[in-house]
């Protein structure tokens, strides 16, 4: 006799089961978590409130990262906290997915046998069935595939923002960077067909989104699988033809594959934003060679020059690694030189840590921790100064801000809301007395009145403040109504009214 497991099965008369998804790592993981949430809701579960504590849900999912330092310690720390809750409430189910699950496989259940499900990066769609199988069989389920099962974008999703959306154009990576474990966990690059991508974007726009971010491990190598070297620039231009799509971004490109046709497409497509995230990793040519990054500092700086020639006001951000094995003080000085020449608006700076399974982890010349820390502090000090100087150039400028779903930790203290300018700079702004308050997803135009290293501030007068109600704001209002929120009547009627409701959704960074 064959038993068919129905992941949406709900015991008669029982309250609806709830879930909570905890995300560690990159934007790809954030996007995967939206798919996980969509799958669980399709299976009949409901999300717990954003302020709920860990372990309050019936199903707790950890979507993990294996790239960040101490990723495993972070996961097992959380799992340890849930051990007692699992004893108190045996019906609680715990699932672990993502890159660390793909890498460690059986180790997770060995170290935390109270986990119910372990699933990998290639079979996100199997989670509801695995949870039901674990409950039905009363034993843990582990399923790790070595190749992609279903392209993630074909799965249901629950977006955390009504205005903005992630769109995967490829998964996997064909590079062999010696510090990175992603290729072994995400597999070789697989590209989606352009028509499928554009259809998904159109559906998102129809649902109220006005901003999309195209995702790929090496997003600008898109097209390698079907042999079109200009596929990415063509995709950017095609996005420009989608009515209602106001902002297009992408992350993360690889400098070695960044071509002039992409720069031209960025400059000539009005809804592609004047913002670029370009990972440098190191300014030392010797270190870049050891990293197998296949570009050198001169090429990197040349790309930035071309981008700024075509888009003078573009904001450029980067990733940096300090203390790669064999890095000397001279190598580090080269990184400082390139950072100063690059004038990044933002930099995500990391201290190198050996990741098991990567070639660099076996290199003998590991840099002492104290040296890495001291260099890291010098680099952060330089970058903070660069960022403040770049932000200072925005003082007095008028910026168009897409209002975010959350207001930030200091919102009650400062009375300010927050959002992102077209160049992705974070803007905290106040609403003048007597002026309409924007909904998440609406757009305000305000002057920059103050700057910091990591954000801009605007405290406009009523005359300096402009609000434009958007379809994304309308979508937020509809969602509030569906969840018993109370939006202001008329907010969806071309700006005749604007919701005073406070944003409640968390935004993953």
Annotated binding site for [4Fe-4S] cluster: 26, 65, 99, 173, 177, 180
Rounded CA-CA distance 363/360 in Å is 5
Rounded CA-CA distance 385/387 in Å is 5
Query: Residue 398: enclosing H or E segment and its boundaries?
Result: strand 398-403
Supply the DSSP symbol for 241. Answer: T
Which tokens is 61 given?
């999912």
Q: Which residues contact 210 (CB under 8 A, 6 or more apart)?
A: 163, 164, 244, 245, 246, 247, 402, 441, 470, 471, 472
DSSP assignment of 64-121, as one string?
E-SSSTTHHHHHHHHHHHHHHHHHH-TT-EEEEEEHHHHHHTHHHHHH-TT--EEE-T
Q: Which residues contact 463 (CB under 8 A, 6 or more apart)?
A: none
Closest CA to 245 of 202, 193, 196: 202
- Residue 238 in contact with residue 193, Cβ under 8 Å? no
| Backbone φ and ψ of 398, nearest 5° | -100, 130
Helix and strand totals (H; E) in the chain: 15, 21
Closest CA to 254 of 232, 273, 277, 284: 277
Rounded CA-CA distance 355/180 in Å is 8
* SS3 state of residue 305: helix
DSSP assignment of 321-375, as one string?
EE--TT--HHHHHHHHHHHHHHT-SEEEEEE----TTSGGGG-S-PPPHHHHHHH
Closest CA to 101 of 66, 55, 148: 66
Closest CA to 156 of 40, 45, 20, 50: 40
Which tokens is 413 given?
């203290």
Rounded CA-CA distance 227/222 in Å is 9
Rounded CA-CA distance 493/62 in Å is 40
Which tokens is 158 given?
């629950």
Question: Residues marked as binding?
Answer: 26, 65, 99, 173, 177, 180
Cα R_g (the chain), whole angstroms: 23
């Amino acid at each position: 006799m064959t038993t068919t497991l129905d992941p949406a099965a709900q015991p008669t008369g029982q309250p609806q089961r709830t879930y909570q998804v905890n995300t560690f790592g990159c934007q790809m993981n954030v996007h995967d978590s939206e798919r996980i949430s969509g799958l669980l809701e399709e299976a009949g579960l409901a999300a717990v409130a954003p302020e709920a504590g860990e372990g309050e849900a019936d199903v707790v999912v950890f979507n993990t990262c294996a790239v960040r330092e101490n990723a495993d310690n972070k996961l097992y720390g959380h799992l340890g906290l849930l051990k007692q809750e699992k004893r108190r409430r045996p019906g609680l189910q715990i699932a672990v997915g993502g890159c660390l699950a793909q890498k460690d496989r059986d180790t997770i259940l060995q170290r935390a046998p109270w986990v119910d499900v372990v699933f990998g990066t290639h079979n996100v769609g199997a989670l509801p069935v695995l949870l039901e199988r674990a409950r039905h069989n009363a034993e843990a389920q582990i399923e790790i595939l070595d190749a992609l099962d279903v392209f993630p974008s074909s799965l249901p999703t629950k977006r955390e923002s009504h205005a903005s959306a992630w769109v995967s154009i490829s998964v996997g990576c064909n590079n062999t960077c010696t510090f990175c474990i992603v290729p072994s966990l995400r597999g070789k690059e697989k590209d989606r067909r352009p028509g499928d991508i554009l259809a998904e974007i159109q559906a998102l726009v129809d649902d109220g989104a006005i901003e999309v971010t195209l995702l790929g491990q090496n997003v600008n190598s898109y097209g390698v699988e079907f042999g079109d070297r200009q596929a990415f620039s063509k995709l950017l231009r095609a996005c420009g033809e989608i009515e209602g799509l106001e902002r297009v971004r992408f992350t993360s490109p690889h400098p070695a594959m960044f071509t002039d046709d992409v720069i031209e497409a960025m400059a000539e497509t009005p809804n592609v934003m004047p913002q670029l995230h370009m990972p440098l990793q190191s300014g030392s040519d010797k270190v870049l060679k050891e990293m197998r990054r296949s570009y050198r500092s001169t090429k990197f700086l040349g790309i930035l020059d071309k981008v700024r020639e075509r888009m003078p006001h573009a904001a450029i951000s980067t990733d940096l690694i300090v203390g790669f094995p064999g890095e000397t003080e001279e190598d580090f000085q080269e990184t400082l030189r390139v950072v100063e020449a690059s004038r990044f608006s933002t930099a995500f700076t990391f201290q190198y840590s050996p990741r098991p399974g990567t070639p660099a982890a076996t290199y003998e010349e590991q840099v002492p921790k104290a040296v890495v820390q001291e260099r890291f502090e010098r680099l952060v000090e330089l970058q903070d100064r660069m960022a403040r100087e770049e932000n200072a150039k925005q003082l007095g400028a008028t910026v168009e801000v897409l209002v975010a779903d959350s207001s930030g930790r200091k919102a009650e203290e400062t009375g300010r809301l927050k959002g992102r300018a077209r160049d992705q700079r974070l803007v905290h702004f106040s609403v003048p007395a007597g002026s309409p308050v924007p909904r998440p997803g609406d757009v305000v135009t305000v002057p920059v009145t103050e700057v910091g290293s990591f954000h801009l501030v605007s405290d406009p007068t009523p005359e300096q403040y402009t609000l434009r109600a958007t379809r994304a704001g309308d979508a937020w209002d509809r969602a509030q109504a569906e969840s018993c929120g109370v939006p202001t009547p008329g907010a969806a009627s071309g700006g005749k009214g604007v919701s005073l409701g406070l944003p409640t959704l968390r935004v993953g960074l």
